[in-house]
Each structure stands twice: as structure tokens, then as C-alpha cells.
Amino acid sequence: MFHWLKKMFVREAIITTILNEEDLMKKFLIIGLGNPGSKYAETRHNIGFKVVNEIASSKEATFDTLKLGAIASIKHRGKSIVLLKPNTFMNLSGKAIKFYMKQENITIENILVITDDLNLPFGTLRMKAKGTDGGHNGLKDTQITLNTPKYPRLRFGISDEFSNGRQVDYVLGEWNKEEQKDLPERLSTAAEMALSFTHAGLANTMNQFNGK
């Protein structure tokens, strides 16, 4: 009798563990990096904010300002997705990311950090499973705070069309007319790519979208 009960409890514990692991795999955190406030809204450095805004808009979701950032929750193909725009300013992005990973019980494999990249031509999209910060302060703080460079990220190219010593002015500058014309299509593709990460997986998404 006791042996049978013990086997039943062990079986239930195993099933509960499997279900909990499955639930974890269904939950994702997509983070757009940027700086809060209208002053920075249309700057190149805020492309991460723009992409998560595009995702939220496609799902008719709205953001609420909560601790350390603006948050929206959406569903996509059976997945629960938390969208985050940190309000800690770029240099402290990792603080908000770590907080919401813990708050929402989301594993590092299921986060996606979206950021601008000077080393890619304008509008080029490239997803990676890991990498260096490449001199990007938001990625640098994220790597330090999470204590690893091994987290998925989606880089949105902003090109490097600036003269010597003008990098800060460039990344904190607004899009030119040509970029503004092409931006809506690029944002739509970036949003599609980010959502693909949650249901198709990292490798499949990279194969389908990288370089497009």
C-alpha cells in the first residue's frame, strides 16, 4: 500500500516538473533597448523601442509604466510574451532585464534583446545567440548584469555614416529622410523576426531572416 502511494506521488511530481518546464518554454521576454522620453523617441539609438512598439501594435497591446520600465503582455502562437522598454536609460539596461527575468520566471534562452548596431548597413537585421557588446553600452551593461555574453539578441543596422568624433551625435540623432521612408517596412520585418524567435526558434529564425 505504502509502496503504491510512494510511486503515485513520485509520478505526480515528475509530471508536475515536466509541465512546469513546458510552461517555462512557452514564456518569453522581448526587450527593446533605448532611452526613455520624447527627446530620444526618434533617434537611431532607440530603434529597440520602435521594434517592440511595432510588435505591440501588431497585437493591439498597450504598455503600462511599471517598475524599471514600460511593459506589455501579448500572446503569439500559444506563447506568452512580455515586451519590455527599460526606463533606466541605455547604460543601465541590464538592471531592468534581470528584474523582469526574475519577476516573470523567464530563462535566459527565452529572452531577446533588440538593439541598434553601427556595424551593419541601415535596416540590416541580424540575430545571434551570443556575442560581444561591440562597444554598445546597453549590451555592455546587460552582459555585466547577467554575467554572461550568451543571450539572444537582434541587431538592427543603423550604419556608420558619421565623420570622425561624431558618433554620439549620430546615434542620438534622428533618421534622415531616406531612412524614414524605408523604416516602416524594416520595423515590420524586425517585429516579424522577433516573433518568429518565440515560435520557430533561434536557428530557424536566423536561417530565414538574417541579412534580410
The β-bridge partners of 69 are 66, 86
Length of the chain equals 212
CA quadruple 135, 136, 137, 141: dihedral sign: negative
Mind telling me the catalytic residues? 45
Please tell me the predicted confidence (pLDDT) of residue 163: 80
Q: What percent of the chain has pLDDT over 70?
A: 88
**Three-class secondary structure of residue 189 per DSSP:** helix
H or E, element range at 169: helix 167-171
> d(Cα 51, Cα 158) in Å, to the nearest integer?
13
Rounded-to-10 torsion of CA 31, 32, 33, 34: -140
pTM over cut 0.85: yes
**Three-class secondary structure of residue 129 per DSSP:** coil
Q: What percent of the chain has pLDDT over 90?
A: 83
Taking all residues of the chain, what is their mean pLDDT, rounded to a whole number?
Answer: 91
Please tell me the predicted confidence (pLDDT) of residue 1: 55
pLDDT at 20 over 50: no
pLDDT at 18 over 50: no
* Of residues 21 and 140, more confidently modeled: 140
Residue 15 pLDDT class (50, 70, 90 cuts): very low
> d(Cα 172, Cα 177) in Å, to the nearest integer?
16
Residue 4 pLDDT class (50, 70, 90 cuts): low
Nearest 5°: CA angle at 170, between 197 and 152? 20
Q: Give 35-48 as a DSSP string.
A: --SGGGTTBGGGHH
Please tell me the predicted confidence (pLDDT) of residue 164: 85
Q: pLDDT of 150-171, one tens digit each?
A: 999 999 999 988 888 889 999 9
Please tell me the predicted confidence (pLDDT) of residue 13: 47
Of 156, 176, 84, 171, which is closest to residue 116 (Cα–Cα)? Answer: 156
Q: pLDDT of 55-101, one tens digit each?
A: 999 999 999 999 999 999 999 999 999 999 999 999 999 999 999 99
Q: pLDDT of 23-51, one tens digit each?
A: 556 899 999 999 999 999 999 999 999 99
